[in-house]
């Protein structure tokens, strides 16, 4: 009895070519709307997924989109993808259809997508990820995920629209660079104005103050009304000089440059309490090393703006300010016991000052690589948290 010989290499090659031809014909038929079902893997073995909803006219519309469009199984097998998505991932379309969407994601993004797919099966979600293209490049995208009709009441089909965020990110970076430049120019102008006020206006006011005192001293007791007016003028000039000096310190905090963030936060808190009557409690400010100048200035300006908003809008009695450093992260936490507000619609003056103030604080934080979050509830106060990640070795010892 003769045993059957295994097929030789030539026979195997012929069989593989036949299978390849069948696969190419299937993909061609899918792209031209000639196939209404596709066999794919599922939890219980092979499953048939119908493509009846993807008529030829619908496919033509999807192919004309400037965004990637896909349909997937819950196992993330790609049932359909348009040419735009294939260009995004820089892979031939025939290598995309029928493959797993996970191949275009990192492990972390794959886990993120997996968690959102559970929600998407009910309501739909939007997430931002990095697609790993076939040539090794990475593409920032936003993915809109929506559940589509169930096939035969069993198999849920997921629809995806993939939007390339490259241009959007580039625009954001440009705007951020412009904002940073505006901040730099603003600080330079503030410094120049502060210098002019200190070197010219303050000195002139002090000279006039001395003259007014001399005039009051020279007036005799017989010139009582004139002497009283001279004394009033002296007091008014003294108060004006103090106000100008306060403006100068706010424009260019010399204490910050000389003594550091701890000292200027204490001085600012003390001055705010004296001026408004709102008690400011400062905790956790014992930093062992100076922070980078830009970071110290950003935190100081954020506190300035936050206290300004407290004074204008919060109707608070107490404010707590907590500054701490944990490793390479600096945290500034500002809480008040005021009336609070809707964070989606911040209170604003007739010129929208508060909204611009919150935006300015966020930009200040972002400028030094940090984030700013605002939490507020009506009648329970407001909490502003700033977190800044320092680069290693960026601090300087006092």
Contact in structure between 368 and 350 (CB atoms under 8 Å): no
CA 73 remoteness from chain centre: 33
What is the C-alpha to C-alpha distance for residues 267 and 249, in angstroms, rounded to an integer?
Answer: 10
**Strand partners for 202:** none
Length of the chain: 398
- Tokens describing residue 351: 């010129």
Q: Name the CATH architecture for the domain at 255-398.
A: 2-Layer Sandwich (3.30)
What is the C-alpha to C-alpha distance for residues 320 and 314, in angstroms, rounded to an integer?
Answer: 14
Q: Where are the domains of the chain?
A: 15-164, 165-252, 255-398
What pLDDT does residue 212 have? 85
What is the C-alpha to C-alpha distance for residues 383 and 132, in angstroms, rounded to an integer?
Answer: 39
Contact in structure between 33 and 61 (CB atoms under 8 Å): no
What pLDDT does residue 63 have? 72
- Tokens describing residue 12: 């195997």
How buried is residue 283: exposed, middle or buried, by Cβ count under 10 Å (0-12/13-18/19+)? exposed
What pLDDT does residue 348 have? 58
Contact in structure between 128 and 159 (CB atoms under 8 Å): no
- Tokens describing residue 29: 């038929």
Helix (H) or strand (E) holding 294: helix 293-309
What pLDDT does residue 372 have? 95
Coil, helix or strand at residue 331: strand
What is the C-alpha to C-alpha distance for residues 239 and 273, in angstroms, rounded to an integer?
Answer: 18
- Tokens describing residue 7: 């097929």
The superfamily (CATH) of domain 15-164 is PAS domain (3.30.450.20)
* pLDDT by residue, tens only, the chain of 398 residues: 555 555 667 777 777 778 777 766 766 665 555 555 555 555 555 555 555 444 555 566 677 778 999 988 888 899 889 999 999 999 999 899 889 999 999 988 888 888 887 776 667 788 999 999 999 999 999 999 888 766 555 667 888 899 999 998 888 888 878 877 887 888 888 888 888 888 888 888 888 888 888 888 888 767 778 888 888 888 888 888 888 888 888 788 877 888 888 888 998 999 999 999 999 999 887 677 889 999 999 999 999 999 999 999 889 999 999 999 988 899 999 999 999 888 777 665 545 455 568 888 998 898 888 999 999 988 889 999 999 998 876 655 44
Cβ of 28: how many Cβ atoms within 10 Å?
12
What is the C-alpha to C-alpha distance for residues 139 and 132, in angstroms, rounded to an integer?
Answer: 7
* Site of tokens 């550091």: 260
């Amino acid at each position: 009895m003769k045993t059957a010989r295994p097929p030789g290499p030539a026979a195997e090659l012929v069989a593989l070519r036949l299978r390849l031809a069948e696969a190419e014909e299937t993909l061609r038929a899918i792209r031209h709307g000639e196939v209404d079902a596709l066999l794919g893997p599922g939890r219980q073995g092979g499953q048939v997924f119908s493509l009846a909803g993807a008529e030829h006219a619908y496919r033509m519309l999807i192919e004309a989109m400037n965004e990637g469009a896909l349909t997937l199984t819950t196992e993330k097998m790609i049932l359909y993808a348009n040419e735009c998505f294939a260009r995004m991932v820089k892979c031939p379309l025939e290598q995309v259809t029928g493959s797993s969407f996970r191949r275009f994601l990192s492990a972390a993004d794959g886990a993120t997508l997996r968690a959102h797919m559970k929600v998407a099966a009910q309501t739909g979600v939007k997430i931002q990820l990095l697609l790993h293209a076939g040539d090794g490049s990475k593409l920032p995208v936003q993915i809109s995920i929506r559940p589509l009709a169930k096939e035969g009441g069993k198999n849920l089909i997921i629809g995806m629209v993939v939007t390339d965020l490259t241009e959007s990110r580039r625009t954001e970076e440009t705007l951020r660079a412009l904002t940073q430049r505006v901040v730099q120019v603003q600080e330079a102008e503030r410094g120049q104005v502060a210098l002019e006020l200190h070197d010219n206006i303050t000195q002139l006011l002090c000279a006039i103050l001395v003259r007014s005192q001399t005039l009051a001293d020279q007036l005799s007791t017989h010139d009582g009304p004139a002497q009283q007016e001279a004394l009033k003028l002296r007091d008014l000039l003294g108060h004006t000089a103090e106000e100008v000096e306060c403006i100068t310190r706010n424009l260019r905090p010399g204490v910050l440059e000389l003594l550091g963030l701890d000292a200027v936060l204490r001085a600012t808190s003390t001055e705010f309490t004296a001026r408004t009557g709102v008690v400011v409690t400062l905790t956790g400010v014992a930093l062992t090393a100076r922070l980078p100048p830009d970071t110290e200035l950003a935190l100081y300006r954020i506190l300035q703006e936050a206290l300004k908003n407290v004074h204008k809008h919060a109707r608070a009695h107490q404010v707590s300010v907590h500054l701490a450093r944990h490793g390479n992260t600096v945290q500034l936490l500002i809480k008040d016991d005021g009336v609070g507000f809707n964070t989606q619609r911040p209170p604003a003056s007739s010129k929208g000052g508060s909204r611009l103030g919150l935006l300015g604080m966020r930009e200040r934080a972002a400028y030094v690589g940090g984030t700013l979050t605002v939490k507020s509830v009506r009648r329970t106060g407001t909490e502003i948290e700033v977190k800044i990640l320092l680069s290693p070795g960026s601090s300087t010892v006092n």
